[in-house]
Structure formats: structure tokens, C-alpha cells
């Protein structure tokens, strides 16, 4: 009798285990039969896709990080059409060595402002010299800002800024000129992200190839997964080129496509190659081994790709094209590498299999005192055996560690992307900081309120005065500038200083509310909500960066439950179909959430609080996380974690179907997939960690966050908590109500058959 914990090599090919030929098995037999044609067609398709997709970069956009509600859009429309007030996309900071009112400086300032206004693509340029607006002059009177409005949408404004800024900055007569603003920040952001993409590829590719060489010990075996990744990335770029004809796609889609495409290709190829070598080691021919590998490992790869893609599809629910376009990039990346791993890798192995073991570096590794870079299967079996003796005592400390790591996330603060995501040496960042220190920067970016009165209401100045006083009393409001003067803390502190019509026109009046905090602070957000909710002498509409942040946060918060529901439903249904047990999908959802919460806690500790910066290199700590990044991380990391869940559960379920012993099946499943999951985590983690080398803090956050999620999921969740839980629950892991069992019998699938 076999002792507990020992591996049993029961024949997987018996009729009891595999009652019918699966669709994947038939597909494997077909592609292997026509292997040369399959490879030739693949080369042709990839070549055409590479040619077509090569122009996608010029079609990508930089924006879509925020969502405006109807209230904000109405406020912008009224401000622009009725009052001629629009947000400048470009700010030019002019520093002189003499006061701005000096005749020579003033003449040069007027000339420079007029020159900016004549540039193609510029709608208007305003400065202290042309308007007399004191907000455009620094506190010391030696610096001035030229506020520039650019024509077109965000992309057109960015292209205009990229074209005109080099000729307008640097030494310009008596001025040293720097540039900042949304358009300039986006232009620099795109330039840096392009550089980072190339650098990430240079960093990730050698790491991936080296680890693959250590895992498979031959050059060809190491190159094949890498080539599958290249196929997926090239096909995805061609698909993105098509998508850009119908929708905006973010420039960051390239970074995500490369990371996911290469990382998942390695994961999927690794799983198939491991099973192929395992089957050839049992004496099967290469073709027989490949059919079994596709039927078993390919089955898990198929489910994993579908699950990851469906989890990422939740991003489409958010009305921010930044998030939506990442789904447009990630979903084809996942599906193409999954299809290539199942349909292209097996024919390649059969054609080139005779050279698969050529140049084996195992003797070299042995001379260096090590047999493999990957832990041996027996080590994982021994670990699982130890866990089986005291599963609860092993699991509790792991759960406590994850909870402690997640605690900082309870103090998370959120904001929107601005120039502070750029490194400190970026022109847009440096200039913005000078404006913050030398000007009344918060008055330059006020909360803009428009009140549309009812002509029949006969609202008088007394009612307006009362409203202004009420707004100025809101907690966090520094002062309010109106048609009747300036108000602070419920009192009028200054008489009207603006010309008639600047703040009131045609039954509509406006007011500029200056917050004591930054635009993305919680207090500024509360001011926006309070203004919209409080009684007013007419319909109230609010604009400005604080309103944009409040709206974006509200929109994401409203859509988030639906996105989480989609992810939970997808995971539950697919894992139920995959295993037939009710507890397995519930366990996966709980453990994945626990792992991700720990990753989010670490992100708050590093990026919000600014600790341990040496982990990813220096960056500007804004005191908050970009509101879109946790959403992206959650959808992507939840999907990626299903990789390891499906790989592990497929082997456990397969072994359980052979002998029906739950504990032994868990030990065997962990033993057979432990080295695989470790290697996969190291490989995809290396690809994701390459993003953390970015100069852009948002990419650093995304790269490090997903790296930690992958590592914790592979080591803590799959290595400790899942085995412990399944050993405690025993046969209950595979229990389901009678109706669900009958449903699974009809439409469910079985690992390996």
C-alpha cells in the first residue's frame, strides 16, 4: 500500500480517467499532423501583423485618466461660452532679473505673449502684461505666467505643445522660460513612457531568457516560450491598430501589452513544456506526449486565458478610456498568447524536438554546485506533507501576515495624475513647483461655480450675498471671489475688483472658490460635494480640477461594485465548471482578495507615505495613489492569480480523480506544480518588476504592486494557504449541491479529460 504523501503514477490514459477525446485533444492531433503548414502560416501571419501594427504608436493617446459628469460639462460650457473662461492647457513661466513693471521687461513680456498667441494651434495667450491680472504675477514681482489655451482635444493639444514648447522655452530675451500644464505634462509623460518601454524590454528580455535557460537547461527550450510571447505581442499590436480606428487607446497600453504578453506566454509555455517533458520521461513518444500535454496542461492554459481575459474585461465598465483601452490591449494579449501556446508551441516542439536537449547546461550547473535554479519537486512534496500534519497552525500565521500587510490600505488616499508622476528633473515638474512656491497657485486653479438663476424668481443681490457668505463658510474654503467682491469665513473682505460682466452675465453668475488645500485633497473634494448639495438661488454647476477629481472618484466608486461582481462571478463559474466543487471557487475569491489587499497595503506604505523608495528608485511622493491604478491592479492581478490557481487545481483534481484521496492529491498536486509555479512567478515577476524601473511613478506603482501580488500569490497563497485549507476541508472541497452536480455533469469540464 502506498504511504501517505507518496506520489502515485496511476495511468492517466485509462478509460476511467479519460472517457472521451476532448476538443483540445482533437485540435492537438490536427496541428501536429499539419505542423509544417501551421508553422508556415504562423510566420506569415506574424509578419503581416508586425507590418500592420508597426504604426500603432502614432495612433495612441495620452489622457483619459478622469471622468466628467454632466454637471461639470455644463459648468465648463457656461464658463467658456458665456464668460470666455477656459482652462489653459499650457503654462509658460517667465523669470526676469528685474520687476515685471520695468518698462523694458513689460515691453518684452507683451511681445512674448503676442508671439505665443500667433503660434499655430494656439487659441489665446494671456499674461499679467496683457490682462493686468495679479494672479499671473509672482509674489516677488519678478516672474510671470503666460496662460495658453490650445485648440483641439487632448491629443491635439499635446501635439501642439510638443511642437511649440522647444521654441518658446529656455532663454527668451530677458526671460528664462519654463513650461508646464496638462499638455506639456502629457507630452513629457508620453516621451518618458516610450523610453521606459524600450528600457523595460531591454531589462526584462535578458532576465526572462536567463531564468528560462536555468529552468530548461537548453537554449532552444528557453527560446520557445520567449518566441510565443513575441507572437502574442505582435498580434496584439496589430489588433490595437484596428481598435484605434474606433476608439481612443492609451499610450500605456503598450507597456501593459509587453508585460502581460511576455509574462503569460512564459507561464503558459512553461506549463506545457513541463508536462511534455514529464510525459516523455515516462517513455511516451514526442507526439503522444504532446497530445497528453495539450489535453491536460493545455486544458488549464485555455481556462486560465479565458479567465484572465474575462477578469480584465471588467475594466470596460469604467467610462475612462485609460482603463478601457488597457482592457482593449490586455484581452487580446492574453488570448493570443494562450492560443499560440496551445496551437503553435506543440508543432514547434515536434519539428524542433530533436534539438530540444542540445547544449544542455546541466553539467555546467553541477560544476557550479547546483543542479537547477528551480526547487526540486520533492522539496515541494515535503513541504506539503509537513503542512498536512498541522494545516491550521501553518495557515494562521500566513493569514495574519497578509492582514498586517494590508492594514495601511485602510488609510489610502486617492487623487489624479498630474506632473508629479514625472521625475523631479522633468521640465513640467520643475516649472510647476516654481509656480506653486512663487504664485498663489490655488487661486490659479480654483473651484469654479456657475449658478444659473430662474428669471421668474427675481433673485436680488441680497440673496446672492447670502449665498456667497454660505459658500465661504464651508470648511476648507480660503476665500470666494464673486461679482460682489471677495468673501472669507462668512464675511465680505473686499469690494468688487473685476469689470462688470466678468462674474455675472445674462441671468448667470459665477464665483471662484479657492480651497485651503490642493485640488486633489479630501477637503477640496468635500467642498465640491457641499457646494452642489447646498441651497442656492438657482441651478448650480461646478468645474475645476477638484470637481473633476470628485466626479472621477464618484464614477469609479459607482462602477466598482459591478466590476467586482463580474470578476467574482467569472471566477466562481469557471472554477466551478473546472473542479465541480463549491468550496474551491469561494476559497479562490477570498484568498485572492486577501493577497491583493496585502499588495495594496504595501503600495500605500511605499508610494503614498514615501517609505522604502530605494526599492524602485527615487520618485515624487504625492501623498496619494492615482485613483485608477488600484482598479487596474485589482482586475489584472486577480486574473493573473487565476493562472496559479488553475495550474495547481488542475493537477490536484487530476490526481484526486485517480485515487480519491484528497490529502494525497493535494500533496501530489503541490509537488508536481510547486517548481512550475515558482519558476512562473520568478519569470512574470521579473517582467512586471521591469516596469518599476520606469521614470513615471504610476508605472512604478503598477509594476511593483503587481510584482508583489504575483509573488505573494505564488508563495503564500498557493504554497501555504491553499494546501492547508484543502487539507482541512477534505472531501468537502469537491462537494456541491445536487443541482450543481447535475449541471457540472452536463456542461462542466474535467482536468485531463
What is the DSSP-derived secondary structure letter of residue 137?
A: B
Q: Cα separation of 575 and 298, whole Å?
A: 16
Q: Cα separation of 198 and 182, whole Å?
A: 24
| All cell numbers assigned to 718 | 498557493
Rounded to whole angstroms, what are the CA distances from 462 to 162, 452, 453, 469, 489? 49, 16, 14, 11, 17
Per DSSP, the three-state class of 453 is coil
| pLDDT at 634 > cutoff 90 | no
Return the closest-CA partner of residue 436 out of 161, 189, 138. Answer: 138
| Residue 660 host element (H or E) | none
Q: Which residue shows C-alpha cell 462688470?
A: 500
Q: Which residue shows C-alpha cell 473682505?
A: 493
Once rounded to an integer, what is the mean pLDDT over residues 422-446?
87
Q: Cα separation of 745 and 738, whole Å?
A: 10
pLDDT at 119: 94
pLDDT tens for each residue of 575-627: 888 888 888 889 988 998 898 899 899 889 988 888 877 777 777 778 888 88
| pLDDT at 184 > cutoff 70 | yes
* Residue 3 pLDDT grade (very low, low, confident, very high; cuts 50, 70, 90): very low
Question: Please, which residues have CB within 8 angstroms of residue 643's CB and are 6 or more apart in sequence?
Answer: 264, 267, 304, 308, 680
Looking at the chain, the domain(s) classified CATH 3.30.70 span 89-180
SS (H, E, C) 204-246: HHHHHHHHHHHHHCCHHHHHHHHHHHHHHHHHHHHHHHHHCCC
Nearest-5° angle of CA 299, CA 301, CA 302?
A: 65
| Per-chain mean pLDDT for the chain | 84
Helix intervals (H) in 407-426: none
Cβ distance 603 to 619 under 8 Å? no
The burial of 135, by beta-carbon neighbours within 10 Å (0-12 exposed, 13-18 middle, 19 or more buried), is given as middle
- Of 232-241, 363-372, 406-415, 736-745, the poorest mean pLDDT is in 363-372
| pLDDT at 177 > cutoff 90 | yes
pLDDT at 407: 93
Rounded to whole angstroms, what are the CA distances from 164 to 118, 156, 502, 534, 537? 11, 12, 30, 44, 44
pLDDT at 497: 64
| pLDDT at 718 > cutoff 90 | no
| pLDDT at 147 > cutoff 90 | yes
* Residue 1 pLDDT grade (very low, low, confident, very high; cuts 50, 70, 90): very low
Looking at the chain, the domain(s) classified CATH 1.20.1640.10 span 377-433+566-744
> Which of 83-97, 451-465, 637-651, 729-743 has the largest mean confidence?
83-97
CATH of 377-433+566-744, one of 3.30.1540.10, 3.30.750.24, 1.20.1640.10, 3.30.360.10: 1.20.1640.10
| pLDDT at 297 > cutoff 70 | yes
CATH fold, domain 89-180, is: Alpha-Beta Plaits (3.30.70)
- Of 127-141, 503-517, 554-568, 736-750, the poorest mean pLDDT is in 736-750
pLDDT tens for each residue of 211-224: 777 777 788 878 88
pLDDT tens for each residue of 344-374: 999 998 888 777 777 667 666 555 554 444 4
Once rounded to an integer, what is the mean pLDDT over residues 412-437?
87
pLDDT tens for each residue of 17-46: 444 667 778 888 888 899 999 999 999 999
What is the DSSP-derived secondary structure letter of residue 501?
A: T
pTM of this prediction exceeds 0.85? no
Question: Please, which residues have CB within 8 angstroms of residue 671's CB and are 6 or more apart in sequence?
Answer: 7, 377, 378, 380, 381, 384
Return the closest-CA partner of residue 537 out of 475, 619, 452. Answer: 452
Q: Can you say how many angstroms the Cα of residue 132 is from the centroid of all Cα atoms in its chain?
A: 44
Query: How many Cα atoms occupy the beta-carbon half-sphere of 548 within 13 Å?
Result: 19
In percent, the amount of the chain with pLDDT more than 70 equals: 92
pLDDT at 20: 60
Q: Cα separation of 655 and 579, whole Å?
A: 12
| pLDDT at 507 > cutoff 80 | yes
| Residue 272 host element (H or E) | helix 253-281
The percent helix, strand, coil of the chain (3-state, each to 5) is 65, 10, 25
pLDDT tens for each residue of 191-241: 887 777 777 767 777 777 777 777 777 888 788 888 898 899 899 999 999
Q: Cα separation of 440 and 654, whole Å?
A: 67
Q: Can you say how many angstroms the Cα of residue 46 is from the centroid of all Cα atoms in its chain?
A: 27
pLDDT at 373: 41
pLDDT at 460: 61
Once rounded to an integer, what is the mean pLDDT over residues 68-88?
87
pLDDT at 11: 38
Strands 170-172 and 175-180: antiparallel
Once rounded to an integer, what is the mean pLDDT over residues 266-273?
85
pLDDT at 367: 58
Amino acid at each position: 500500500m502506498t504511504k501517505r504523501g507518496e506520489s502515485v503514477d496511476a495511468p492517466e490514459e485509462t478509460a476511467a480517467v479519460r472517457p472521451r477525446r476532448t476538443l483540445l485533444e482533437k485540435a492537438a492531433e490536427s496541428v501536429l499532423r499539419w505542423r509544417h503548414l501551421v508553422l508556415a502560416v504562423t510566420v506569415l501571419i506574424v509578419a503581416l501583423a508586425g507590418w500592420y501594427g508597426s504604426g500603432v504608436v502614432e495612433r495612441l493617446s495620452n489622457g483619459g485618466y478622469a471622468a466628467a459628469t454632466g454637471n461639470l460639462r455644463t459648468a465648463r460650457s457656461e464658463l467658456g461660452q458665456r464668460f470666455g473662461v477656459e482652462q489653459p492647457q499650457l503654462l509658460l513661466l517667465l523669470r526676469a532679473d528685474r520687476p515685471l513693471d520695468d518698462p523694458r521687461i513689460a515691453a518684452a513680456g507683451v511681445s512674448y505673449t503676442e508671439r505665443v498667441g500667433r503660434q499655430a494651434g494656439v487659441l489665446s495667450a494671456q499674461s499679467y502684461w496683457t490682462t493686468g491680472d495679479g494672479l499671473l504675477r509672482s509674489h516677488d514681482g519678478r516672474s510671470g505666467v503666460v496662460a495658453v489655451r490650445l485648440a483641439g482635444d487632448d491629443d491635439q493639444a499635446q501635439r501642439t505643445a510638443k511642437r511649440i514648447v522647444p521654441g518658446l522655452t529656455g532663454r527668451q530675451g530677458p526671460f528664462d522660460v519654463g513650461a508646464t500644464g496638462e499638455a506639456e505634462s502629457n507630452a513629457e509623460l508620453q516621451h518618458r513612457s516610450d523610453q521606459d518601454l524600450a528600457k523595460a524590454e531591454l531589462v526584462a528580455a535578458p532576465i526572462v531568457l536567463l531564468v528560462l535557460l536555468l529552468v530548461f537547461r537548453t537554449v532552444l527550450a528557453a527560446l520557445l516560450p520567449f518566441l510565443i510571447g513575441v507572437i502574442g505581442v505582435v498580434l496584439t499590436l496589430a489588433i490595437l491598430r484596428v481598435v484605434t480606428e474606433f476608439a481612443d487607446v492609451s499610450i500605456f497600453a503598450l507597456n501593459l501589452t509587453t508585460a502581460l504578453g511576455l509574462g503569460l506566454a512564459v507561464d503558459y509555455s512553461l506549463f506545457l513544456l513541463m508536462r511534455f517533458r514529464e510525459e516523455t520521461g515516462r517513455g511516451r513518444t514526442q507526439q503522444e506526449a504532446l497530445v497528453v500535454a495539450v489535453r491536460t496542461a493545455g486544458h488549464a492554459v485555455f481556462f486560465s486565458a479565458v479567465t484572465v481575459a474575462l477578469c480584465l474585461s471588467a475594466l470596460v465598465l469604467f467610462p475612462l478610456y485609460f482603463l478601457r483601452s488597457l482592457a482593449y490591449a490586455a484581452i487580446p494579449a492574453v488570448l493570443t498568447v494562450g492560443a499560440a501556446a496551445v496551437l503553435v508551441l506543440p508543432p514547434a516542439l515536434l519539428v524542433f524536438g530533436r534539438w530540444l536537449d542540445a547544449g544542455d547546461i546541466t553539467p555546467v550547473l553541477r560544476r557550479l554546485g547546483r543542479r537547477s535554479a528551480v526547487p526540486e519537486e520533492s522539496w515541494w512534496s515535503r513541504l506539503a506533507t509537513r503542512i498536512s500534519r498541522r494545516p491550521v497552525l501553518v495557515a494562521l500565521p500566513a493569514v495574519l501576515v497578509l492582514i498586517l500587510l494590508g492594514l495601511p490600505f485602510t488609510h489610502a488616499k486617492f487623487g489624479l495624475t498630474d506632473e508629479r508622476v514625472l521625475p523631479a528633473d522633468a521640465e513640467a515638474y520643475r516649472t510647476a513647483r516654481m509656480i506653486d512656491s512663487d504664485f498663489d497657485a490655488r487661486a490659479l486653479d480654483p473651484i469654479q461655480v456657475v449658478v444659473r438663476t430662474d428669471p421668474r424668481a427675481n433673485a436680488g443681490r441680497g440673496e446672492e450675498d447670502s449665498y456667497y457668505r454660505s459658500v465661504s463658510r464651508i470648511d476648507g474654503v480660503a476665500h470666494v471671489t464673486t461679482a460682489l467682491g471677495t468673501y472669507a469665513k462668512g464675511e465680505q473682505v473686499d469690494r468688487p475688483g473685476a469689470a462688470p460682466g466678468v462674474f455675472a452675465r445674462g441671468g448667470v453668475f459665477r464665483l471662484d472658490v479657492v480651497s485651503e488645500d490642493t485640488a486633489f485633497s479630501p477637503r477640496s473634494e468635500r467642498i465640491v460635494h457641499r457646494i452642489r448639495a447646498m441651497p442656492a438661488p438657482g441651478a448650480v454647476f461646478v468645474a475645476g480640477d477638484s470637481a473633476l477629481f470628485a466626479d472621477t472618484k464618484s464614477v469609479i466608486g459607482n462602477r466598482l461594485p459591478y466590476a467586482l461582481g463580474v470578476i467574482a462571478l467569472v471566477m466562481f463559474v469557471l472554477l466551478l465548471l473546472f473542479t465541480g466543487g463549491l468550496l474551491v471557487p469561494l476559497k479562490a475569491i477570498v484568498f485572492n482578495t486577501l493577497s491583493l489587499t496585502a499588495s495594496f497595503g504595501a503600495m500605500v506604505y511605499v508610494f503614498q507615505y514615501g517609505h522604502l523608495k530605494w526599492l524602485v528608485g527615487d520618485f515624487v511622493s504625492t501623498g496619494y495613489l492615482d485613483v485608477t491604478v488600484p482598479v487596474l491592479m485589482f482586475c489584472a492581478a486577480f486574473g493573473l492569480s487565476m493562472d496559479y490557481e488553475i495550474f495547481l487545481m488542475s493537477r490536484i483534481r487530476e490526481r484526486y480523480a485517480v485515487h480519491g484521496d484528497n490529502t494525497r492529491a493535494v500533496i501530489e498536486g503541490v509537488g508536481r506544480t510547486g517548481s512550475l509555479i515558482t519558476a512562473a512567478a520568478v519569470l512574470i515577476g521579473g517582467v512586471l518588476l521591469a516596469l518599476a524601473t520606469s521614470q513615471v511613478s504610476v508605472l512604478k506603482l503598477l509594476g511593483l504592486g503587481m510584482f508583489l501580488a504575483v509573488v505573494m500569490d505564488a508563495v503564500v497563497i498557493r504554497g501555504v494557504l491553499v494546501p492547508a485549507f484543502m487539507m482541512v476541508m477534505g472531501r468537502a472541497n469537491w462537494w456541491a449541491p445536487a443541482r450543481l452536480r447535475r449541471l457540472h455533469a452536463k456542461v462542466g469540464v474535467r482536468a485531463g479529460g
